[in-house]
Amino acid sequence: MARSRGWKVGLDCFSPALAQMVGQDLAQLSACWDWIKGMVYLRAFGPTAIPFELVGLADALHSPGAADDREVLEFLARCTGWEPPSTREEIRRSRLPSSILAAEIARGREACGCPFLTGVELVEIPDVAEIDPVGIQKDWEALAAAPDGIVLSWDLRHMPVERLEMVNRILFHPQT
Does the CA dihedral 77-53-116-95 come out positive or negative? negative
**CA–CA gap between residue 86 and residue 70 (Å, rounded):** 7
Q: What is the pLDDT along the chain (176 residues), one digit of tens a residue?
A: 888 999 999 999 999 999 988 899 999 999 989 999 999 998 888 899 999 999 999 888 877 766 677 888 888 999 898 887 888 888 887 778 888 998 999 999 999 999 999 988 888 887 778 777 777 778 887 887 667 888 888 777 888 888 888 878 877 776 65
Work out the burial of residue 90: count CB atoms within 10 Å of its CB; fewer than 13 is exposed, 13-18 middle, 19 or more buried.
middle
* 3-state SS string for 136-159: HHHHHHHHCCCCCCEEEECCHHHC
Residue closest to 40 by CA, chosen among 104, 124, 88? 104
Q: pTM of the predicted model, to two decimals?
A: 0.85
Residue type, 133: P
Overall CATH class of domain 3-49+98-172: alpha beta
